[in-house]
Amino acid sequence: MKTGILGGTFDPIHTGHINIANKILSELALDRIIFIPNGNPPHKESIMASQNERLNMVKYAVSEYENFEVDSMEMFKIGNLYTYKTLEKLQEKYPEDKLYFICGADNITEISGWRKPERIFELAALIFINRPGYEIDSNAINGLKSGYNAEIYICNGNDKDVSSTMIKKFIKENKNAEEFIPENAREYFKAVYYNV
């Protein structure tokens, strides 16, 4: 099995997440993508929904897609969340799978500073999502390939740049953000973020 791993705070999960997951599934011929919501990471100070609410919303959002799954392994973990540890747990859980870790292209120049980057590249191929207007640093990619024997793929993101930050701005301004939410999660989204 070729398994993609898409982690995030998902506060809230939006159509951009679903669209890029579908695109990667198709372009790289993956068998499935596992969505892994984070708990309450310390660098995210503006989380609006609780852990359970975000987890439930992701489950609603992916429920209509047969190749999408949700794993709550990071949701209620206490302490630091390190990517290499998550990948180790996934390798134990799915020993026959080839793992593909999905993250934003802005991490290309930062991933060397993550905890145990060599272990990350040993455990998984990396799929970097390029955002509109962002220029890929090809020297950094070549450095990762030569330094870590990294297997790297670049996937162009959505033309329409939807973000959780943008949606939360809509919510604070009492504007309707429903169009950016996957259909199966809209009612739950309204109940959580608008108290409707």
Q: Tell me the domains of the chain and their CATH numbers.
A: 2-193 (3.40.50.620)
pLDDT in tens, 82-120: 999 999 999 999 999 999 999 999 999 999 999 999 999
| CA dist 51 → 29, 36, 37, 56, 66 (Å) | 31, 12, 8, 9, 24
Interval 36-64 mean pLDDT: 87
d(CA 187, CA 82): 33
Mean pLDDT of 161-176: 91
CA distance linking residue 39 with residue 151, whole number of Å: 28
What whole-number percentage of the chain has pLDDT above 90?
Answer: 82
What pLDDT score does 135 carry? Answer: 86
Which of these ranges, 24-33, 70-79, 115-124, 183-192, has the smallest mean pLDDT? 70-79
Residue 29, both tokens: 């011929």
**How confident is the model at residue 98, as a pLDDT?**
98
> Which residue from 114, 83, 108 is spatially nearest to 5, judged by alpha carbons?
83
